[in-house]
Structure formats: C-alpha cells, structure tokens
Amino acid sequence: VNTFARAYPSYRIPGDPYAEVGPYAHNQYLHLAAEIGLAGLVVFLAVVGRLFLAVHRCVGRGGASFEAAVSAGLGAGLIGYLILGTLESSLFYGRGSMTFWFLAGLIMAIERIRGPR
C-alpha cells in the first residue's frame, strides 16, 4: 500500500512543475495497478463486472418495476463513477471509496430483493 507515493519521486522528470500536486496517479485504474498490482486490478474489475451483471439481471427481468428503475439508476451512477475514475483517483479517498461501496451494496441488495430468475 502507498507504493505509488514512494516510487513517484524516482520516476518524475527533473523540474516537474506538478511535483507537489499530490502522490497519486490522477487515474484510479493506473493507481490501483501501481498500488496493488495487476492481480488486484483484475480482482477490482471482476467486482465491477459482477455489479454490472447484477444490474443487467435486475433491469432485464421484464416490466417497468420499481426495482428495475432503481437498479438502472444505480448502474448509471456506477458508470459515472467509473468514468470519473479515468481522471481522478476517487477510490483512494474516504468519501470516494464510500460512494463506490455504497453503490455496490445497493446494487447487490436490489438483485437480492428481486430474487432468483
């Protein structure tokens, strides 16, 4: 943990005007790969894939039910969060990671409420 912040000074160019911006990659996927390795990044992407599978199952079960609408909204929120992750390392801040896990928990709870196919 925190390997990016320790390794960054040895890789930055001399005279970097942004050296004091902060010890993170400004991209949560690059930062995840640097912090927890490619195996950890694959696990994170597997979790995200499982969340989208849950959204797909809830929305694709036919009808315009309340649970399907809520699941679609949560899925859209997750997509927005993940797009923002290309520009920011949101998972490395308390509120950012709380938002991700809150969305994940709600998505899985909605799938559980909907029950098996």
| Of 110, 112, 117, 115, residue with least CA distance to 71 | 110
| Predicted confidence (pLDDT) per residue in 14-71, tens digit | 877 766 656 677 788 888 888 888 888 899 999 999 999 999 988 887 667 888 889 9
Kindly state the tokens that stand for 76: 């859209």
pTM of the model: 0.77
Cα 8 to Cα 15: distance, rounded to the nearest angstrom: 14
Q: How far apart are CA 48 and CA 17, in angstroms?
A: 35
